[in-house]
Amino acid sequence: TQMTLDIKKGVVGVKKGNTPVQMLFCLKEKNQKKINSHRWFFQAFGAVLDPNVCVLIDAGTKPGKDSVYQLWKAFDLEPMCAGACGEIKAMLVHGKKLLNPLVATQNFEYKMSNILDKPLESAFGFISVLPGAFSAYRYVALQNDKTGQGPLEKYFAGEKMHGANAGIFTANMYLAEDRILCFELVSKRNCHWILQYVKSATGETDVPTTMAEFISQRRRWLNGSFFAAVYALAHSFDIFRSDHSFLRKTMFLVEFVYQTISMIFAWFALGNFFLVFRILTASLQNELGTAGKVLFIVFEWLYIAVLITCFILSLGNRPQGSNKWYMSMVYFWGIIMAYLMFASIFITVRSVQGQIETNG
């Protein structure tokens, strides 16, 4: 339709202030997962409709006012923009859900990502992942070349991998196929596409409220993001097959170095946290005497026991069956963090006091 109609008391009239939208509702008989739906859209419907910009929104994601327009505007202003994403917010229901610590921590994480990570990556021109919950792509940029190789070919490769057909690395990598698509767009042969972050475009999404749901979600995210990041870094020199300027390629290489350092820190985060814990608690032992020594021994053995328990539970495939165990571990890590904060403040104050006394 080219106009929206308003029916009141049997009289049909044109409703002012509304933009007409043509809609096609497509229902699959069988659930073949997200990638299959995207294949239908990009390779079947897209070939007929020939769209300019394609906006992807997850079921359950609520776009903010004018958010879809703001995403489209980014493509209109930048002809070489291949993909864009908005700010993903946790659905808080007027702040009521913030009373749940798990929701509050996820809200903080989303905010930090939208304030620090996404704008920095957007400045370089390559965003490591455009969230599938709310993102947009330029249809032309997604297309494969004449040989059938390109972004969509890599994106849909995971759909054909089943069991023995996929190795451990590839199977995990395609848990985060969005990251593969982003890298392939930027490094597309003989092209110079970039990716952008649009802060004015927002979308609210429902976040897990229980520990079991949270672990199920993050285990998939972490596996996929790690292996996809390794893939991007291992193929970082593919950027030289693109048609980007020398300055842009240099910026990409700087970003890849930054991502490599971040990955190394993330890989050793578990060990680094234990080192900080042991150094602080051992230092507190000298300050508190017998009480500090007892706390040091108790916390150290509990730390190791809980860590081993966490590792054993992670070998299972049903976090829902171990929800109480996971919650117990969360409480323990919370106590450890509170103890470390106390230890760092206490040791700092004692050190300053000792320095003041030494100086007279």
**Over the range 156-165, which residues count as b (16 or more CB within 10 Å of their CB) and which as e?**
bbbbeeeeee
**What one-character DSSP code corresponds to residue 54?**
E
Q: Which of 85, 69, 80, 55 is nearest to 141 (CA)?
A: 80
Q: Which residues contact 217 (CB under 8 A, 6 or more apart)?
A: 208
Q: Which of 263, 178, 179, 176 is nearest to 219 (CA)?
A: 176
Q: Please give the pLDDT value at position 306.
A: 93
DSSP for 287-329, please give it.
Answer: HHTHHHHHHHHHHHHHHHHHHHHHHHHHTSS-GGGGHHHHHHH
Q: Report the alpha-carbon distance of residue 346 to residue 341 in Å, rounded.
A: 8
Q: Report the alpha-carbon distance of residue 227 to residue 175 in Å, rounded.
A: 9
Q: Please give the pLDDT value at position 159.
A: 78
Q: Please give the pLDDT value at position 19.
A: 65
Q: Report the alpha-carbon distance of residue 224 to residue 218 in Å, rounded.
A: 10
**What one-character DSSP code corresponds to residue 208?**
-
DSSP for 20-47, please give it.
Answer: ---------SS--HHHHHHHIIIIIIHH
Q: Please give the pLDDT value at position 1.
A: 45
Instruction: Kindly name the residue from 6, 117, 178, 243 that is annotated as catalytic.
Output: 178
Q: Please give the pLDDT value at position 267.
A: 92
Residues of the chain with pLDDT below 70 are 1-20, 162-166, 360
Task: Tell me if residue 6 is catalytic.
Answer: no
Q: Please give the pLDDT value at position 321.
A: 84
Q: Please give the pLDDT value at position 177.
A: 86
Which token pair is 296?
């040091």
**Residue with tokens 């539970």, as numbered in its chain:** 313
Residue 45, classified by CB atoms within 10 Å of its CB into exposed (0-12), middle (13-18) or buried (19+), is: middle
